[in-house]
Amino acid sequence: MRTMKQRFAWSFLIATAVVLLASACAEDDSPATAPATGSPTGATGIVCSTAYRVSSSEPLTEVDTVRFETDDSVQSIPYIYLEFHAEYTSGAAGDERALRLWVTPTAEEDVIVTQLFQLPQDATLVNQFAGEHGFTGLTYAYDPVSGAELQYWCEAS
């Protein structure tokens, strides 16, 4: 015969399973990948922001931005040890609409980190990340020799 504690434990487990199952089966028309903070901006521009410091133990020394509108463009922001690169392709020439971001040591071609964001051709971008980190989220890159840190993110504007 089961003790009172065993009955309570089994009842609790069954109730928890029922609640979890019910919540999983509930209809939700919102997309699963868009957090509640996201909303379409209706904007056509993209602004990428950077924050740089020569060491992760030092305060930020420089904050900059690059802006993309409707035309294809490649832009860079050089710092002492790291260089931020961004390339926007509008898709107007029949190719895909995309934003490519990458970081290199300054004046070098070795890529430390790279990201490709394939953007919807006929839809607005959604700034979905908390902390005002746009549609890309906040990314950190570090110089392997100096330890310099570059933070960057892009948002629809």
Q: Where are the domains of the chain?
A: 46-156
Give the residue-averaged pLDDT of 31-35: 35
**Each residue's pLDDT tens digit, 88-138:** 998 887 778 999 999 999 999 999 999 999 988 877 777 877 667 788 989
pTM over 0.75: no
Q: How far is CA 37 from the centre of its chain?
A: 13
Cα(36)–Cα(22) distance, rounded to whole angstroms?
21
What φ, ψ does residue 95 adopt, rounded to 5°?
Answer: -90, -175
Query: Which band of pLDDT confidence, cut at 50, 70 and 90, is reported for residue 144?
Result: very high
Task: Burial-class residue 24 by CB neighbours within 10 Å (0-12, 13-18, 19+).
Answer: exposed
Cα(150)–Cα(4) distance, rounded to whole angstroms?
59
